[in-house]
Amino acid sequence: MDTKRGSSFAGAGDLATHAERARQYLAELNAACANGDKSAARTALRQAISELELARAMLRTGID
């Protein structure tokens, strides 16, 4: 590990928040699938993807 580079970046907490929200939506997706609710599953999956895309964009911005 390069000691000159910081191990974190501004916005890391926000990134973690988006990742946690994605995890919650994936839990909703799991429950919807178990209940056979395709509409709720699609919605939860879209929301999880959105949160992960936000986290990815924040990570790229934080690294650059």
Task: Please report whether residue 30 resides in a domain.
Answer: yes
Please check whether residue 3 lies inside any domain of the structure.
no
Residue 5 lies in a domain: no
Burial bucket for residue 39 (CB in 10 Å: 0-12, 13-18, 19+): exposed
Burial class (CB in 10 A: 0-12, 13-18, 19+), 26: middle
Residue 4 domain-assigned (yes or no): no
Residues 12-35 pLDDT 10s: 888 889 999 999 999 999 999 999
Q: Quote the pTM value.
A: 0.78
- The whole-number pLDDT of residue 59 equals 83
Say whether pLDDT at 10 is over 70: no
Q: How many structural domains is the chain composed of?
A: 1
User: The domain containing residue 23 runs over which residues?
Assistant: 12-63
